[in-house]
Each structure stands twice: as C-alpha cells, then as structure tokens.
C-alpha cells in the first residue's frame, strides 16, 4: 500500500474518467497503480462527493457507503493480484473522509455515524464500529455450513486473512482515526499484531513495522502516557531479557524495543515503562548471548534477507543513536541531516562508542568474514555492510571515525577493493553479477566519503589516504576510482594546483615519505613482503608522474628528486659502511644522504628482487622529464638532472656507500672488482666530459644550430649509457663468479659504445679524435659518412641487453636508452639537410636499417636474386653446399648485426640453426639419426636424472623379467631423452625467435624516421625502391607463418606486420619521386610484388601490394608513357588470370585500388582487359564485378572533362588525360554491346544481379551524356532500348520496373539532345563551309578588280 495511492484516492476525478461504482471494486485489484488510483478516487467520489442534499440521495450514499466499507474490509483478505494494496489504500482514504466529513447540509454527524446506524448491531462510538467490522472481516473463523463443517478455512485462506489483518491495521493507523479510539480498542489492535508476530516467521518484520507505526501514531495524538499504558497492557512479557528460548530475541524485536526507547528520548519523558527501561544496545550486550545467539550474530544475520533495503532494526538503531539536527541560521541542516545524541536513555556508552563497536563486532567480525548462514556467499554480507556505511555517512560523524574504522584495512580490502575491482575470468557468473550489483553502491559511498573529508584540513585528508593505502597500496588502480587522487588534491585543474602548490607541497611530501616508509617497513621484517613492497614502489612512481603532469617543472622538482634518490640509493648501493655526517653541498647530495639514512635505519641492503624493481622505476623518470618538457630544451633538461644524480652518487660514496654490483663474497676479489668498477665509471665520465667540451666549442660558433642539438642529444645518449654501469647487482643465491663475468661484458659493451659515440660526435663537429676514443680506424681511409657509424651504434645498442634486447634486459633503464637513441637518430637526420659532406642519407644507411628490421629469409632471397641478375642467366642451379653456405653467411650477417658481435663469434649459432623448413618433425628426425654433436651440446642432463630414468623402467613390475633380452629401461630413457632434446630445441628456437622479433620492433622507429616528411625528399629513387621488396617479403613470411600455426610469437609478428604495412602505405608510397627511375628495374620489382601478393590471401596484403605497384608507376611517370606500359604489363595479365582461373589468388581489391587512386591510368590500362573479363568471366560473380569496375572507370563527370583541358595542367598530364579519355571513347561501343548481351542473359536476370548491371548502365549513360554529338557512341546507346523495354515487360519486381523506366527515360532524353547536338554541329559545319566559299569568291572578285586596274594603267601608259 503506497502513500501516493492514498493521496490520489482523496482527489476527485473528472467525470469523463470516473468508473461505475460496482466496477471500482474489481479495478482496485489491478497490478497497475494508476488504475487502482482511478478506481479509488471514483469510489470516493461516488460515495462522498455526489449531490446528496435531498433525503433520497443521502440514503443512497449511506447505503452505498456501508456496502463499500464492508467490501473494502473483506477485500483486504483477497489474494488476487494487488487486491491488498488497492483495498488498503482506498480504505485509509475512505476512513479519513468518513471520520472528518459529513453529508452536504449536515453539520451534526459525519459519514461514519450514518454508516454505523445503517449497520446491524449496537456500537458505542465509530472506532468501536470500525473495530468490530474489521474483526468480523479478517477473522480466521468462518461460520459452519454445509460445505464447511470444521469452521476453519484452508491454509491459504488462513494466510490471506493474516495478511488482510496486517494491511487493515496499517490502513486504520494511516487514516488517523485512532485518536478517538478507547484503550480497549487500541489494545485489540496491538494484540492482533503481536499474534501475527508469533504466528509465522514471515510476519515478524511486517508486523513489527506495523507496531512501530502504531505506537508512533498513539504517541502523536495521545502522548507517551498512553504509550506506556499500552505497553504495560499488551507487552508485559514481550521483552524478556532472561529468556533462553531459541530465536526468542530477534532483530525485529530489538528494533521495536529501540524504537519505543527512542519515542521516550524524543519526548524527553523520563517515565519509561519498566518493560523497556533496561539498556539494550551497548558494547557489552553486542557480545552477550540472547538465547542461543549473541546480539552481533543476530544483527549480522539480517544480511540473509536484504534485498533493496535493510532490516528495520538498523533504522531503529540509527534513530536511537542520532537525532535530526537543528537548523542553523544561514547554514541549513548539519551534514546528512542528523547528528549524534549527547546522551542515551540508559547505559554508560556514548553513541560514538556504540557505532565503533557495531563496525568492529558486526561489520568486520561477521559481515566481512565467512558467509553468513543462509547466504549463498559473502555478497549478502558485503551488501549489508555497504548499506550500513552509507547510512553512517548520513550522520555527522567525525573524520577520525572514518579514518580509524571505515578505512581500516579489513574494510578497505574486503568491502571496497574486492567489490570494485575487475573480476577475473575464472570467477562464477552469479558471483560476478552480484559484484556488479554492489559496485554502484560502493562507488557512491566512496564519493560521499571523499566529499565529506574534502572539507577537512590537509592533515585529515592525508590520514585518510594513509588508511586507504594500508588496506591496499594500489587502491585507485584496483577500484578504478579517483578516491586517493581526490583526497590528495589532484581533482583540481593544473593552473589551480600550481597556484596552491605551497599548500599542497607539505601534504604531498608527507605522503611521499609515508610511501617510502612503507617500502622500508616491508623489507626490514623477517619475512620480507616483496609483493607489497613492489606495490608501494609502483605507487611512488605513479604519484610522482602525476605531479610532473599536474604542475610545472619547478614545482615538481622536490618530488622528482626525492623519489629518484630513494630509488637509486635503494637499488644500487649497499649501506653497510655508510656513515652520515653534515656536509654543505647541493640539494641533490643532501637528499641522497637523507634517503640513505632512512634506508639504513632498517636494513643495510635492500633484497635483490626489490632492487631490480626500484632500478626499473628510477630510470623512466629521466624519460618522463623529457616527455613532460617537450617544448623546452629536453636535452638540456635531462643533462641537468643527470648532473644532479652524479653529484648525489659521489656524495654518498664519499660517506662509505658501495655499489651493490661491486660487492663480492670473496674478500680477495673486493679490491680487484672495485678497481674495475671505478675504472669503467671514470672512463665513462671522461668520455662524457670530452663530449661536453665538444658541445661548448660548437655553441661558441654556431648557437642553437642542428649540429649543436645533435651533439647535445648524443651527450644525453652517452649519459644514459653511463648510468647503466650501475645496476641492482646479483641475487644472493647465485654464485658471484658467473654473475660478475656477465657484468664485466656489459661494462665493456657500454664503454665501447661510448667510444663510438664520441668518435661520431667528433666527426660531426669536424674535430679529429686524438685519444678521446678507442677506435682503431685508420685516418687514411678518407672521409666517412658519419650517419653510417651512428646507425650502427643505434642498432647495436637497441639489439643488445643495454637497449632491452637479448636475454638479459635492463628493464626501465633500457627504455630510457631506447628513447634517447631514437632522439639522437632524429637529430642526426635533421643534420643531413645541412652537412652533406659528412652526413648523408644514402643507400648504405637505409640498407643497414632494412637488414635490422627485415627477416633473414627475406634478405637471403634478395641476395640470391641479385646474384642471378649479375650472372645474367648463366646457370641458376648451384650445388647444395654452396646454397647452404650462402644462407649461413646471410644468417651470420643478420645475427652479427642484431647482437653487435663479430660473425666469428656466431659459428655455434650457425651450426645449430636450421633452414626454417615447414616440416619441423622431419628435421628433428633427421637430426637425431645423424647424431649431430653440435645439437647434443645444447642438452645438459644430469647423470642422476638419467640413472633415475633407467631405474624407473627397470623396476617396472609389469614387464616379465624372463622376456628381457636387453635393458628395455635404457631404451625408454633414451627415447625420453630424445623427446626432451627435441622439445628443448624447439623451446630454444621459440625463445630466440621471440628475442629477434622484439629487436626488430625496437629498430623500426629508426627506419620510420627516415621516411618522415622532413627527410623523405633526401631519398633517391634507388633508396626508396630498394626498401620495398625486403619489407614486403618479411610481411609475407610472417603473415604465412601466422596463418599456418600462429605460435608463441604471434603477437610480435602481428605487430611487425602492422608496422610494415603502415610504413609502406603511409610513408614509402607517399615519397615524392622524380619520375625518372629505371623502367626495367621497376618492372622487375613489380613482378616480385605480384609474386608476393599471390602468396597470401588477405585483403590488407593485397591493398598494400597494389599501393606499391602504383608507387612504381609514379617512379617512371615522367618518361612518356612508361607508366602506362609498366602498369599494363602487370594488370592485363592479372585481369585475365582473375577472370578465367578458378585457382587464382588475385583479389578484386587490386583493381579497385588502381581505379580509386589513379583513375586516368586505370582508364588506359584496365578498360580493354575488363571488357574481355565481362565476356569470358569464369562465373556470374566475376562478370558482375567486371561490370562494376568498368562502370566506375566510366564514371566521369562534366567537371572532369572540363578540367582535363584547363591550361593549369601540365602538357604531359593533359596528354595522358586525353589518351585515357580516347580509350574510353574507343571501347564505348563494345561496352554497350556487352550490356545488350548481358541484359538478355537468363542467368543474370535475377533481381540482385541485374540491379548491379543496370546501375552500370546508368553510369555509362551519364558518361555518354558528356559526349553529345558522338554518333558512334549514341548509335550504340540507342541499341539499349529494346532489351531494357523487354526487361520492364517481363519483370515482376516494382523496383526493377522503376529502374528500367528511369533508364529508358534517360536514353530517350539523351538521344533527343544528341540529335539536337548533331543538327547544331551540321549547321555549324554548313555555316563554316558557306563562309569559306564566300571568302573565296570575295578573294577572286578582288583579284579580278586588281587586274582590271592594272590593265587600265597599262593602257593609259
């Protein structure tokens, strides 16, 4: 029963919407609330608001009213549809009106008194009348009769009467008619509700809810004295604290008890009945047993029934503990509208203490623990917990309460994180669905809490953040909210944050130090919490990055320096011998010493796994500085930060800190390794200082030039490499000798690269290298292109462990190295526009890049084709040994390029490599049979393992010992050994392939920079064309590999395919060529492109090949009609193969690309072959597609025709355009004849096919309309009329009929205009002929006159 229905029922309706009186009772049972409301209002209007001033009308109204009251009371017990809601709502309004209003003109009696007189029986007052009518209608006893001998109804009828009694009492309470009721009547209603409470469990909560409303109504109109009397009369033993019965004390009974106490607290009445005088809700009672259960268990079990609302006990608890806040002038109500009570009715506990106990004992201990009995999982408990916290947010609680109780780790992790985080794929669907239902509620609570805490001071907000992160370090990330960020102030704009940085700085620094302390705390314990420590490290990194992007560089500097020093000191240093002392130096050194002292208080050296993570997170800060300050001089910015870091490192080393990668267990090696480390670092610093001096010399003469920027970028590159000499050291459980050997190799590689960088920098600067590097190059070799040396350095670095290649990657440090390698390369390319002598982008440079990104097989295939061309078709068959040697040399060259080592060091790799055949199984079998010793070296099997294999089969009881003539256990072990060897070999090849593919991906940005718009004009035809085939072959190889098997490297191969496609289509194909490339070479490349296109049946691959073919046509475009010849040699055969061969791998996209990108060339090349395809196509689909492409070619507008003759076009382009148009005109009659034949073809006369043909006819007619006066074309067009007319007559399709008629009209109009044009042309021809004849006659008459004049002159003489 809803209050809105009661209000609607009191309102009279329009006469047009009023229902007949008897129909209203049926409509009151409708499930539609609007229909029930209309029925109720119609009933009330009929009874109370009709014109009833005369006696007859009043009698009818009284009679109908008495009948309506009886029907409404009886209807309460109906189980049909929504009868209880409808009848109860109408009853409340009916009683309210009947007790207050009387008939028109009758001021002495109200309606209910008339109804009472009209009813049978004697009643003292209207309330007694209503009570007896109600009791009679909702009584469970039925009169005995013929069909009912027992006097009781069925169980369903009993249940309906019980619900009717419940709804009836609520209707009477809400009608407001109890004010005139006697105590006896009130006691009767309370007794009915208590009986319902005791009847069944399902009636406990609704009956208790009705009792709450009943007592509240009595308190409102009769005062608390009547309530006390009512409690003593009706509830003398209802609240028994000493009862041991099971389920005697329920949540509903507790809710009623607290509600009654709340009524006395709100009324400030101290005369509390003894039944409710004792304190119930206390900290002690939460753990006290009430019957067989404690109160906290009783309250927690309400989660099993929660749906869209909490159990009424919780509403009673919050009303008991809080009150409506008083309104303050100009400020409105307090937060949430409620505030805690100062004192409670009984007990010594404060409201705050009770709420804290509820959180700990009910929410944390029960709701967020194991699933409650009766619940399927803990979702119900979390739902109730969230609802309770949401209700607490409506009370004016202190911020410290939220921090210490709502944000305690258990609540944060179990309630918020587990609810809001993205579920894993393995979770059950129903559980995931429940989590999704809780997410909006949890998000809203967090939003409310942030809004509430946002009004507090900075210290409170920081405490809240600390509490959240103690529960989960990555709270925002896991919950996908901005809770922590908002509390830290990141929700503001960048300008406002920069202006308020003074207020935020202390808050952020405190937060940063808290995160650092959490990391140290996790590593200082006996059981090191590695995962937790790593999470806090990631939070530090994310936090500082957020600051760098939110405020300016100067404001973010303190946070960057603190976090950077913390990471570097923790990752690279052992502080066992560190001694702190006061020193006056730069801020970087002071911060480093502070971080060293902070770490040393807990541990001398951070564990290896955490050092590695700190190292990975320290290096990206340099890259982040570059990203944030893109508009500034990023090289200068980085070098400043690098100088600060170097000063800080020196500062803590002077205090006794030692690099962890120089600490050995063997004391004899300490001095040696430290000397080696010092020498490597000092040598690196020497090279960097020399490069700095080199840059200063250039700045003095050429300020802010490309050369200066290039040298500065190379300095950054060198500084990155220098910092890589520091690394996290070695795991404690690994032997130091093997690790130190790798460490030495890495240091040597770094020093070698630094020397090479200095050489290149000296060459660019024009300074001779007299000792700055260790190069053995002879100066007599002449001037060398510095870009070749630089590309070798960049590629070698990217493919080595320093740049992230190989097995031993350097994590975040490698990312920084890769970034500055790319920056250095881009600056060097920019220098090619100025320094053509020492820096030039030639074929050798591009060839090195292509070899780095293309596959070995693609490169080897190109070398073989080059050798064949040089031999001039002598004998293309070579010995197998020579082929193997060539492939091995190509593989050796590729491996040497990718790893940075000499080919002599790769002999073992070449011996162990295979030919990448498709049948790997056959390879393995042959290799096992041959007993290849080189492959045996790849398997290390311990003797104990082999012995176990032998004994395992030897002890097999299932084998009969008498049948063993030899050791079958040894055979089984050998077989497993062979299988293990094969699997390990395949696994090793897969890992090696993955590393090689990753290296190619890292090298791709270098090649992409070459073909950028800034540098593409420097590339010659040869450089551009030599790029095509290696990349396309690589794309083909990887695409076929993915289609065959996929494999572990599928993702890397797809990434390379995407990059190759993007590079070829968006950069290489758009390079501006001079159009004078060698035609024969372009034709050879075009043939190879067609071969590669047919190897992969893929639309994207076909489009890529088509674009490259158009590039070749553009390369010879300024050599007369060479582009037409080249294109025709490819496309003519391709069209024929596509249209006639069933097994063709050519796709129609090949021709569509040509038409869409170069329509003029397509007209000259495709028109004639496509006409043949329309005639000789292998199937209907091919013919229709040919017609479609031809119609696209003939889709020439008048504007195109006009533009083709404009003076703005070049003469050569005008010639090609005219030639293409001539080809269209020449083939037009043949095209029309094909239309005529096709429109008569039975196979094509289907709606979906013929529509495509008719569309082609329409486009052709539009083309013909641009050539009025061309009799040859229009005579052909005229032949289209008969087949189109025949199609219209025989077609049953309305759409085809409309299309055909439209075409007939177009042809008819076109013929008329053509004939008019012919007449006009004939008239112009006749006029020209007459003009020429007249001019001729005029000339002859003038000549005769001149002769006559001459004769006269002669005769006169």
For 1028-1081, the DSSP string reads HHHHHHHHHHHHHHHHHT--TTHHHHHHHHHHHHHHHHHTGGG----S---HHH
- Check residue 1140 and give left, alpha or beta (phi > 0: left; psi -120 to 50: alpha): alpha
Q: What is the pLDDT of residue 924?
A: 41
**339: β partners:** 323
| Residue carrying the six token digits 């100088």 | 643
> Hey, what are 244's tokens?
């041991």
Q: What is the pLDDT of residue 1357?
A: 63
pLDDT band at 1321 (very low <50, low <70, confident <90, very high): confident
User: CA 477, CA 541: separation in Å to the nearest integer?
Assistant: 13
Half-sphere exposure of 136 (CA within 13 A, CB side): 13
Sequence-distant (6+) residues with CB within 8 A of 25 are 39, 43, 71, 75
pTM over 0.75: no
Q: What are phi and psi of 286, to 5 degrees?
A: -60, -30
| Contact indicator for 313, 208 with CB cutoff of 8 Å | no
pLDDT band at 7 (very low <50, low <70, confident <90, very high): very low
Mean pLDDT in residue range 1101-1117: 89
| Contact indicator for 895, 796 with CB cutoff of 8 Å | no
Long-range pairs of 914-919 with CB within 8 A, sequence gap ≥ 24: 914/989, 915/884, 915/887, 916/857, 918/1044
Mean pLDDT in residue range 786-809: 79
From the number of C-beta atoms within 10 Å of its C-beta (0-12, 13-18, 19+), residue 50 rates as middle
pLDDT digits (tens, 9 = 90+) for 432-453: 555 677 888 889 888 888 888 8
pLDDT band at 1209 (very low <50, low <70, confident <90, very high): very low
What single-letter DSSP state applies at residue 395? B
Q: What is the pLDDT of residue 739?
A: 45
Q: How far is CA 345 from CA 260, 269, 279, in A?
A: 11, 10, 8
Please report the DSSP string for 993-1031 in residue order: HHHHHHHHHHHHHHHHHHTSTTTGGG--HHHHHHHHHHH
**Calculated CA dihedral for residues 631, 635, 639, 641, nearest 10 degrees:** 30
Q: What is the pLDDT of residue 191?
A: 93
Is the model's pLDDT at 371 over the cut of 60? no
Is the model's pLDDT at 1206 over the cut of 80? no
Q: What is the pLDDT of residue 358?
A: 92
Report the 3 state secondary structure along 701-729. Answer: HCCCCHHHHHHHHHHHHHHHHHHCCCCCC
| Contact indicator for 390, 406 with CB cutoff of 8 Å | no
**323: β partners:** 339
When computed from its CA atoms, the radius of gyration of the chain, rounded to whole angstroms, is: 48
Q: Which residue has the higher pLDDT, 868 or 1076?
A: 1076
Comparing CA positions, the residue from 1115, 1116, 1098, 1108 lying closest to residue 1063 is 1108
Is the model's pLDDT at 749 over the cut of 50? yes
Comparing CA positions, the residue from 1, 207, 193, 175 lying closest to residue 88 is 1
| Contact indicator for 1001, 1052 with CB cutoff of 8 Å | yes
Q: Angle between the 843-853 and 786-798 helix axes, to the nearest 10 degrees?
A: 10
C-alpha triplet 164, 303, 440: angle, nearest 5°: 105
User: CA 468, CA 420: separation in Å to the nearest integer?
Assistant: 14
User: CA 813, CA 571: separation in Å to the nearest integer?
Assistant: 12
Neighbours of 9 (CB within 10 A): 27
Neighbours of 1243 (CB within 10 A): 10
C-alpha triplet 409, 414, 418: angle, nearest 5°: 125
Is the model's pLDDT at 937 over the cut of 90? no
Return the SS3 of 574: strand
Q: Which residue has the higher pLDDT, 69 or 820?
A: 69
> Hey, what are 1158's tokens?
């170069």
Kindly provide the residue ranges of all beta strands, DSSP E only, lying in 1139-1186, ordered along the sequence.
Answer: none
From the number of C-beta atoms within 10 Å of its C-beta (0-12, 13-18, 19+), residue 1080 rates as exposed
What single-letter DSSP state applies at residue 585? -
Sequence-distant (6+) residues with CB within 8 A of 166 are 193, 196, 203, 206, 207, 210
Q: What is the pLDDT of residue 1276?
A: 84
Sequence-distant (6+) residues with CB within 8 A of 71 are 25
Comparing CA positions, the residue from 867, 906, 870 lying closest to residue 888 is 906
User: CA 73, CA 88: separation in Å to the nearest integer?
Assistant: 8
Q: What is the pLDDT of residue 207?
A: 93
pLDDT band at 621 (very low <50, low <70, confident <90, very high): low
Q: How far is CA 1246 from CA 676, 866, 1238, 1299, in A?
A: 85, 53, 12, 14
Is the model's pLDDT at 81 over the cut of 60? yes
> Hey, what are 67's tokens?
């009948």
User: CA 315, CA 312: separation in Å to the nearest integer?
Assistant: 5
% of the chain beyond a pLDDT of 70: 76
Kindly state the helix (H) or strand (E) to which residue 289 belongs, with its residue range. strand 289-290
Please report the DSSP string for 642-668 in residue order: HHHHHHHHHHHHHTT-EEGGG--S-GG
User: CA 927, CA 293: separation in Å to the nearest integer?
Assistant: 75
Comparing CA positions, the residue from 1140, 1130, 1124, 1043 lying closest to residue 1085 is 1130
| Contact indicator for 1280, 1258 with CB cutoff of 8 Å | no
Q: What is the pLDDT of residue 1319?
A: 84
Return the SS3 of 324: strand
476-490, 645-659, 1239-1253: range with lowest mean pLDDT: 1239-1253
Comparing CA positions, the residue from 271, 262, 275, 273 lying closest to residue 344 is 262
Mean pLDDT in residue range 582-589: 62
Mean pLDDT in residue range 1108-1137: 87
Return the SS3 of 1269: coil
Sequence-distant (6+) residues with CB within 8 A of 995 are 805, 806, 807
Strands 573-574 and 658-659: antiparallel
> Hey, what are 377's tokens?
């999982």
pLDDT band at 16 (very low <50, low <70, confident <90, very high): low
From the number of C-beta atoms within 10 Å of its C-beta (0-12, 13-18, 19+), residue 609 rates as middle
Is the model's pLDDT at 782 over the cut of 80? no
Q: What is the pLDDT of residue 499?
A: 63
Is the model's pLDDT at 86 over the cut of 60? yes
User: CA 1189, CA 1185: separation in Å to the nearest integer?
Assistant: 6
Q: Angle between the 224-234 and 204-222 helix axes, to the nearest 10 degrees?
A: 140
Neighbours of 994 (CB within 10 A): 15
């Amino acid at each position: 029963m809803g209050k809105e229905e009661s209000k609607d029922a009191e309102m009279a309706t329009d006469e047009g919407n009023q229902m007949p009186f008897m129909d209203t009772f049926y409509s009151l049972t409708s499930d539609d609330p609007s229909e029930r409301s209309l029925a109720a209002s119609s009933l009330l209007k009929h009874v109370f608001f009709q014109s009833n001033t005369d006696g007859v009308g009043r009698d009818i109204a009284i009679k109908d009213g008495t009948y309506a009251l009886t029907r409404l009371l009886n209807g309460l017990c109906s189980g049909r549809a929504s009868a209880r809601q409808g009848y109860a709502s109408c009853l409340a309004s009916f009683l309210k009106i009947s007790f207050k209003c009387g008939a028109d003109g009758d001021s002495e009696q109200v309606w209910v008194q008339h109804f009472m007189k009209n009813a049978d029986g004697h009643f003292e007052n209207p309330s007694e009348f209503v009570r007896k009518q109600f009791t009679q209608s909702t009584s469970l006893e039925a009169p005995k009769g013929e069909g009912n001998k027992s006097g009781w109804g069925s169980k369903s009828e009993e249940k309906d009467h019980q619900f009717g009694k419940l709804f009836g009492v609520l209707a009477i309470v809400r009608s407001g008619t109890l004010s005139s009721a006697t105590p006896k009547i009130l006691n009767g209603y309370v007794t009915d509700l208590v009986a319902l409470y005791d009847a069944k469990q399902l009636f406990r909560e609704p009956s208790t809810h009705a009792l709450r409303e009943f007592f509240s109504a009595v308190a409102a109109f009769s005062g608390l004295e009547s309530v006390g009397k009512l409690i003593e009369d009706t509830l003398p033993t209802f609240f028994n604290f000493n009862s041991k019965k099971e389920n005697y004390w329920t949540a509903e009974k507790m809710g009623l008890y607290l509600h009654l106490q709340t009524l006395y607290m709100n009324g400030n009445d101290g005369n509390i009945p003894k039944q409710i005088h004792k304190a119930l809700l206390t900290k002690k009672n939460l753990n006290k047993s009430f019957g067989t259960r404690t109160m906290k268990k009783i309250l927690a079990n309400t989660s099993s029934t929660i749906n869209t609302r909490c159990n009424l006990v919780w509403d009673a608890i919050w009303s008991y503990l809080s009150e409506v806040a008083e309104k303050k002038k100009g400020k409105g109500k307090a937060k949430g509208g409620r505030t805690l009570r100062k004192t409670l009715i009984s007990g010594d506990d404060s409201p705050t203490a009770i709420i804290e106990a509820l959180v700990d004992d009910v929410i944390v201990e029960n709701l967020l623990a194991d699933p409650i009995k009766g619940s399927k999982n803990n979702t119900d408990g979390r739902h109730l917990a969230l609802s309770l916290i949401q209700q607490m947010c409506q009370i004016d609680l202190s911020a410290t309460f939220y921090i210490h109780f709502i944000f305690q780790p258990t609540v944060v992790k179990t309630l918020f994180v587990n609810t809001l985080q993205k579920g894993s794929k393995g979770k059950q669907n129903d559980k995931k669905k429940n989590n999704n239902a809780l997410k909006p509620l949890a998000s809203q609570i967090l939003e409310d809490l942030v809004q509430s805490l946002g009004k507090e001071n900075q210290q409170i907000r920081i405490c809240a953040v600390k509490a959240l992160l103690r529960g989960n370090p990555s709270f925002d990330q896991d919950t996908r909210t901005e809770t922590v960020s908002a509390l830290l102030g990141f929700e503001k704009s960048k300008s406002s944050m920069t202006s308020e940085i003074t207020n935020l700085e202390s808050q952020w620094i405190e937060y940063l130090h808290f995160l650092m302390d959490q990391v140290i705390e996790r590593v200082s314990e006996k059981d090191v919490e590695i995962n937790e420590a790593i999470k806090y490290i990631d939070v530090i990194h994310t936090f500082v990055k957020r600051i760098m992007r939110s405020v300016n560089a100067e404001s973010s500097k303190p946070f960057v320096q603190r976090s950077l020093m913390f990471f570097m000191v923790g990752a690279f240093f052992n502080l066992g011998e560190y001694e702190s002392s006061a020193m006056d130096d730069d801020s970087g050194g002071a911060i480093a010493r502070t971080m060293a002292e902070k770490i040393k208080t807990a541990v001398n050296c951070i564990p290896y796994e955490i050092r590695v993570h700190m190292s990975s997170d320290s290096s990206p800060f340099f890259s982040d500085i570059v990203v944030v300050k893109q508009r500034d001089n990023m090289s200068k910015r980085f070098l400043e930060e690098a100088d600060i870091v170097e000063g800080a490192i020196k500062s803590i080393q002077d205090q006794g800190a030692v690099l962890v990668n120089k600490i050995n267990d063997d004391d004899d090696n300490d001095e040696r390794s430290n000397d080696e480390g010092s020498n490597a670092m000092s040598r690196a610093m020497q090279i960097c200082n020399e490069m700095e001096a080199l840059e200063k010399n250039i700045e003095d003469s050429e300020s802010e030039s490309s050369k200066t920027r290039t040298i500065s970028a190379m300095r950054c590159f060198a500084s990155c490499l220098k910092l890589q000499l520091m690394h996290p050291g070695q795991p404690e459980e690994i032997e130091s000798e093997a690790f130190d050997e790798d460490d030495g190799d890495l240091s040597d590689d770094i020093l070698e690269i630094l020397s090479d960088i200095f050489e290149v920098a000296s060459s660019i600067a024009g300074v001779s290298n007299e000792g700055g590097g260790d190069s053995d190059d002879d100066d007599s070799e002449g001037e060398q292109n510095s870009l070749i040396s630089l590309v070798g350095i960049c590629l070698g670095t990217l493919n080595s462990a320093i740049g992230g290649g190989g097995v031993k990657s350097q994590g975040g440090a490698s990312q920084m190295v890769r970034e500055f390698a790319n920056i250095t390369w881009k600056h060097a390319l920019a220098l090619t526009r100025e320094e053509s002598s020492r820096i030039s982008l030639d074929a050798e440079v591009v060839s090195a890049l292509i070899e780095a990104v293309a596959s070995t097989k693609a490169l080897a295939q190109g070398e073989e084709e080059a050798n064949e061309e040089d031999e001039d078709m002598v004998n293309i068959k070579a010995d197998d040994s020579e082929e193997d040697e060539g492939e091995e040399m190509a593989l050796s060259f590729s491996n040497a390029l990718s790893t940075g080592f000499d080919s002599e060091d790769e002999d073992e790799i070449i011996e162990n490599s295979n030919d990448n055949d498709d049948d790997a199984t056959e390879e393995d079998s042959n290799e096992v049979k041959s007993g290849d010793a080189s492959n045996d070296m790849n398997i290390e099997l311990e003797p104990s393992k082999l012995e176990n294999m032998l004994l395992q089969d030897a002890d097999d009881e299932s084998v009969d010992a008498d049948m063993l003539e030899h050791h079958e256990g040894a055979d089984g072990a050998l077989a497993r050994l062979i299988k293990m060897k094969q699997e390990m070999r395949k696994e090793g090849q897969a890992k090696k392939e993955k590393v090689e593919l990753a290296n190619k991906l890292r090298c791709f940005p270098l090649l992409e920079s070459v073909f950028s718009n800034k540098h593409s004009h420097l590339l010659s035809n040869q450089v551009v064309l030599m790029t095509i085939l290696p990349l396309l072959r690589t794309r083909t190889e990887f695409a076929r590999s993915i289609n065959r098997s996929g494999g572990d490297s599928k993702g890397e191969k797809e990434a390379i395919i995407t990059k190759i496609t993007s590079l070829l289509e968006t950069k290489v194909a758009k390079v501006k060529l001079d159009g004078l490339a060698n035609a024969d070479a372009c034709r050879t490349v075009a043939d190879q492109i067609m071969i590669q296109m047919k190897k992969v049946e893929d639309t994207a691959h076909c489009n890529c090949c088509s674009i490259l073919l158009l590039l070749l046509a553009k390369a010879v475009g300024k050599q007369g009609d060479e582009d037409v010849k080249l294109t025709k040699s490819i496309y003519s055969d391709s069209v024929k193969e596509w249209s006639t061969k069933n097994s063709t791998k050519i796709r129609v996209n090949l021709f569509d690309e040509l038409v869409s990108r170069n329509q003029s060339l397509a007209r000259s090349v495709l028109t004639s072959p496509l006409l043949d395809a329309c005639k000789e196509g292998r199937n209907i689909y091919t013919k229709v597609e040919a017609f479609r492409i031809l119609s696209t070619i003939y889709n020439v507008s008048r504007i195109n025709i006009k533009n083709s003759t404009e003076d703005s076009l070049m003469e050569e382009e005008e010639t090609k355009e005219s030639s293409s148009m001539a080809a269209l005109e020449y083939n037009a009659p043949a095209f029309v004849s094909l239309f005529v034949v096709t429109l008569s073809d039975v196979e094509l006369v289907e709606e979906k096919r013929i529509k495509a043909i008719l569309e082609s006819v329409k486009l052709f007619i539009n083309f013909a309309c641009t050539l009025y006066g061309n009799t040859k074309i229009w005579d052909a067009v005229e032949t289209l009329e008969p087949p189109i007319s025949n199609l219209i007559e025989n077609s049953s399709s309305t759409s085809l009929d409309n299309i055909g008629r439209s075409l007939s009209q177009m042809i008819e109009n076109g013929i008329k205009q053509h004939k008019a044009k012919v007449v006009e042309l004939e008239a112009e021809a006749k006029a020209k002929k007459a003009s020429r004849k007249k001019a001729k006659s005029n000339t002859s008459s003038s000549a005769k006159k001149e002769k006559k004049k001459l004769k006269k002159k002669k005769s006169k003489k």
